[in-house]
Structure 1
Amino acid sequence: MSEHRNTDRLAVVTGGSEGIGLAIADALARDGADLVLVARNRDRLATAAEEVGRHGTAVHTVFADLSAPDAPARVAAQVGNLTDRVDTLVNNVGTAHFASLADTTVDAMNTMWHLNVQVPLLLSQQLLPALLRTRGSVINISSYWAHKMVAGRPSAAYSATRGALNSMTRALASELGPRGVRVNAVAPGAVRTPTYERSYLTSMTEENRAAHDEQIARSYPLGRLGTADDIATAVVYLASAQWTTGTILAVDGGLTTR
């Protein structure tokens, strides 16, 4: 790991050990921010910290499973032990359960509501004094599923949580703007992450893969899935965009234009 250099910015990234969260952390570190990575897998968290630390900024880790009801308060307390200032909070942790209305369970709804809506709200609340100190910003990672549906993939409960996150983003931007804190969101299209690979691509036959690629080319004006770096680039922009708040930034290759 490189020798750490002192910086005057600190970012907290939840789900920062893999996929989009790791790419966001890496991009913020390259941009000069110190990091606090929050994740529930100790081994991946340690590996991520080493990887991100190569850019020379300080990288701290907080091991936590944010699905636990008291986790946001515990995470905020641990962040508070490390620093009294937070410039950027990236609420990246989330989960998705797709099921028809008939098959949607209360447990699945509660899990998604907690991780996708309550955790971002509670972490923003808990870390607000630190964000006020820096006139910092909150960046929520949402999804195109808030307002675009896909035939054959019922998503009522999941889409509801993403719509709620977008509304919360705008409401907090209105509330906190006069106090100097900006609140924005990024709404990605489908991104080729390790989770996407495990859940979809690895189990496909050659024929299914060809159909998948054809559908992507047909659905996305830019003709491809997103990468984690595509999302990270948007987050770095929003972290420094001093006159941007209440924005839900679609980073989706044009998917929602069709």
Structure 2
Amino acid sequence: MPEHRTTGRFAVVTGGSEGLGLAIAGALARDGADLILVARNRGKLETAAKELGRHGTVVHTVPADLSAPDAPARIAAHVGNLTDRVDTLVNNVGTAHFASLADTTVDEMNTMWHLNVQVPLLLSRQLLPALVNARGSIINISSYWARKMVAGRHSAAYSATRGALNSMTLALASELGPQGVRVNAIAPGAVRTPQYERSYLAPMTAEERTAHDEQIEHSYPLGRLGTAQDIATAAAYLASAQWTTGTILAVDGGLTIR
């Protein structure tokens, strides 16, 4: 077992127990950051911490449901007990409900607005002193759905939240730059995560799966879905790119250029 090290550099990653969040946490750890992972499921958090800790990374876990109104303040208090500096905050947690305008409910809209827009804003506010102290950066995980619509998948409410997150990224980059804090976002295309497998691919018949694969080859110039590592590589870049702020980085295999 490698010895743990304390680097003095901390990365806070929400939704850090699987999928994109876990991959991003791993990439930041490989670049020398110790980790504070936030997620709802304690078991998944413990598994993620063990996996990442094998590489010598110090991993702290914060079990929290970000849909709770007081979650950002409680998470910030937990982080404050560990460190007075946050070098990277990755706002990765989000949710999506796809429905036609007629079928979109107020509850669905409120849930998406809270998790996709308010939580990144509120957590950034709560951690702002620590981000300023580190001259750190915020990375918001957005989506191609802010820019590109897909025939047959109705996304008005969801796309609105992703567009809002992109605009918020630009506004915060302008506001916080003079304090030394950079703010960027990643807009992934479709990524083959455990959630994508469970909710989208698993219910498909063999014929639907074949049609899906053909559609991916047609829609993406690079001919494939993304991987979590594709997004993690981009996050590691933005975390270290000291003259990059206010960028919405499309990591989507070329999807949004067609």
What TM-score does the superposition give when structure 2 sets the normalisation length? 0.99
Other-structure match for 2:177: 177
CA distance in 2, matches of 1:116, 1:246: 18
CA distance in 2, matches of 1:106, 1:142: 22
After TM superposition, give the deviation of residue 203 of structure 1 in Å.
1.4
CA distance in 1, matches of 2:137, 2:216: 33
Q: What is the correspondence of 1:227-246 to structure 2 with a 5 Å cutoff?
A: 227-246=227-246
3-state SS, counterpart of residue 174 of structure 2: helix
Structure 2 spans left out of the alignment, 5+ residues: none
Q: What is the correspondence of 1:1-258 to structure 2 with a 5 Å cutoff?
A: 2-258=2-258
Partner AA of 1:187 in structure 2: A
Cα displacement string for residues 18-76 of structure 1 (whole angstroms, at most 9, x for unaligned residues): 10000001111111100000000010000001111112121000000001111111111
Structure 1 spans left out of the alignment, 5+ residues: none
After TM superposition, give the deviation of residue 97 of structure 1 in Å.
0.3
After TM superposition, give the deviation of residue 6 of structure 1 in Å.
2.2
CA distance in 2, matches of 1:158, 1:189: 15
After TM superposition, give the deviation of residue 98 of structure 1 in Å.
0.3
After TM superposition, give the deviation of residue 8 of structure 1 in Å.
2.8
Q: Which runs of structure 1 show a deviation greater than 4 angstroms over 4 or more consecutive aligned residues?
A: none
CA distance in 2, matches of 1:31, 1:53: 14
- The size of the alignment, in residue pairs, is 258
After TM superposition, give the deviation of residue 2 of structure 1 in Å.
3.2
3-state SS, counterpart of residue 222 of structure 1: coil
- Aligned-residue CA RMSD in angstroms? 0.7
- Percent of aligned positions that are identical: 85
After TM superposition, give the deviation of residue 202 of structure 1 in Å.
1.4
What TM-score does the superposition give when structure 1 sets the normalisation length? 0.99
